[in-house]
Amino acid sequence: MQFASTEWWSDNPEDLAFQSVTDGRPIRDNNVLTRYLKPARRALGMPWVNWRCLRTSHATWLKLARADVKDAQAQMRHSRASTTLDIYQQFVPESQRRAVDKLTELTLANARVQ
């Protein structure tokens, strides 16, 4: 992507992900969705994208990455972990399989000890 001027541009990790190309100020959330996220969705052949589905995906990916629910809560900026768990994190079959495999492993290890 080409920018008119790079005087304001920075790769500082604390900087905004979506900045105005003219002055580096924040872009309105609806413009980010329209200019960047929806075109990316179309290019990937995805059926739908909005802020809610992105937040749900993020929370679910944190779960798959085995992030602690309190860490997910903090990243999502929820006041209660129950909001993260009950509303945003989705059921993932691989996660269930991992839990059953771990339980089987623990049961077999316990049976060998006795």
Cα 17 off chain centre by: 14
Residue 15 — φ and ψ, nearest 5°? -75, 165
pLDDT recorded at residue 28 = 86
User: What does the pLDDT read at residue 42?
Assistant: 94
Model pLDDT, residue 1? 42
Digit-by-digit pLDDT tens for the chain (114 residues) are: 444 445 555 667 677 677 777 777 888 888 889 988 999 999 999 888 999 999 999 999 999 998 999 999 999 999 999 999 999 999 888 888 888 998 999 998 888 776
